[in-house]
Amino acid sequence: MIKVGVNGYGVIGKRVAYAITKQDDMELVGIAKTKPDFNAMTAIEKNHDVYCSIPENIGLFERRGMEIRGTINDLIEKCDVIVDATPGKIGAKNKPLYEKAGIKAIFEGGEKADTVQCSFNALCNYEEAIGKDYVRVVSCNTTGLARTIRPMLDIADIGRIRAVLVRRAADPVQSKKGPINAIVPVTKVPSHHGPDLKTVLPNIDIVSMAVAVPTTIMHLHTIMVELKDNISKDEIIEAWGKTPRVKLISSEDGFISTAEIMEYARALGRYMGDLYEIPVWEDATNIKDNELYYIQAVHQESDVVPENIDAIRAITGIEKNARKSIEKTNKSLGIR
């Protein structure tokens, strides 16, 4: 049983912690929180052992009636692996703590690629991460791109990929962030998402642009792929159909926006109403003049959750076969 701690219990941390409890080859030692807010209340209600990541804040938890098992260092001492789900750039600051304790750690997409030994996506480069000490699960957007681009590489000779990412500007829980009524372009063009995908799929030619829009529930990607040889839409659809964590949907079933997708996801009954899969509109997939067009959505809160579980298996080496880890994770989380 791999002993895992989760540092940070926000949007990603609480989901990874939950997912760990569903595995039979790993154990959740505890979670670390900075302060006794509603997220800490959740951890307590879920009977997780709670550690305090800011030692001087322990008193705040006690005053709120929340039992604390120790500091982040106490948690680290009991673990084989830490999943660092703290806000972007904080992971890099925490890394020395893990190094000093001599334990492995997994970071999230908000950290820079050079913080770690390798970036990670189960479908793309599971093997590369085996035995590493510090890996980074690529961001929700990069994960989404990896899932639908990777399977095409096996069946088609593809040229330049152009992706425009229409990002949700804030997560459902973020009540202070806007905009309320505007579109915010990422003025660095091409955006960093293309290069980020190359950290797990180095041999592709991809460029990207991005904008943020006033919605909280999902990102949406419009993707154009140059095809160098003849391949049919049906072959692409078939490849996606066989790819784990990709889900084909159609507007004819009422999926006319990200709203219906998340309604469907909630109704599936998974924890937090999550959708771990990348939904791709089958009826918005088209090939014309040697170019493939398709549209997918990304549940930014959860698509990286199964990747984190796989990453734990890869760096600890308890499972060296990518496909087996993916299947095991999927089964544990109800992903078909």
Site for a second copy in 290-309 (CB under 8 A): 291, 293-295, 297
Cβ within 8 Å of residue 164, ≥6 positions away = 208, 209, 210, 211, 221, 222, 223
Residue (of 145, 98, 146) closest to 125 by Cα position: 146
Site string for a second copy, 5-34 (x = CB under 8 A): ---------x--------------------
> Does 182 participate in binding a second copy (rule CB under 8 A)?
yes
Beta bridge partners of 162: 207, 224
Binding-site string for a second copy from residue 304 to residue 333, where x marks contact by CB under 8 A and - marks none: ------------------------------
Secondary structure (DSSP) of 73-99: HHHHHH-SEEEE--STTHHHHHHHHHH
Give buried/exposed letters for 136-145 (b at 16+ CB in 10 A, else e).
Answer: bbbbbbbbbb
Nearest CA to 224 out of 290, 157, 270 is that of 290
Of the residues 183, 230, 241, 323, which one makes contact with a second copy according to CB under 8 A: 183
Q: In angstroms, what is the minimal distance from the CB of 52 to a second copy?
A: 16
Q: Helix, strand or coil for residue 34?
A: coil
Q: Which stretch binds a second copy (CB under 8 A): 24-32, 119-127, 265-273, 320-328?
A: 265-273
Distance CA 43, CA 18 (A): 10
Q: Is 256 in the site for a second copy (CB under 8 A)?
A: yes
Min CB(3)–a second copy separation in Å: 23
Is there binding between residue 269 and a second copy (CB under 8 A)?
yes
For a second copy, the closer CB: 52 or 123: 52
Among the residue ranges 93-101, 131-139, 144-152, 277-285, the one whose residues contact a second copy (CB under 8 A)? 277-285
| Residue pointed to by tokens 């990670």 | 120
170 sits near a second copy (criterion: CB under 8 A): yes
Site for a second copy in 199-238 (CB under 8 A): 207, 209, 211, 213-218, 220, 222, 224
Determine the Cα–Cα distance for residues 274 and 335; give it in Å rounded to an integer: 11
Is 140 among the residues known to form the active site? Answer: yes
284 contributes a contact to a second copy by CB under 8 A? yes
**Of 214, 284, 216, which Cα lies nearest the Cα of 249?**
284
- Is 110 or 214 the residue whose CB approaches a second copy more closely? 214
Per-residue interface string for the shown chain with a second copy, residues 47-66, x marking contact by CB under 8 A: -----------------x--
Structural contact between residues 60 and 36, judged by C-beta atoms closer than 8 angstroms: yes
Taking CB under 8 A as the criterion, the residue among 51, 61, 107, 255 binding a second copy is 255
Q: Which is nearer to a second copy, 1 or 189 (CB)?
A: 189
Report, in Å, the least distance between residue 58 CB and a second copy.
17
**Of 95 and 219, which has the nearer Cβ to a second copy?**
219
Q: Which of 52, 79, 124, 140 is catalytic?
A: 140
Conformation bin of residue 53: beta by default, left when phi > 0, alpha when psi is -120 to 50? alpha
Packing angle of the helix pair 38-45, 11-21 (nearest 10 deg): 0
The residues in 94-153 that bind a second copy, with binding defined as CB under 8 A, are none
Q: Confirm or reject binding of residue 195 to a second copy (CB under 8 A).
A: no
# chain residues binding a second copy, by CB under 8 A: 78
Phi and psi angles of residue 76, each rounded to the nearest 5 degrees, phi first:
-55, -40
Active site residues: 140
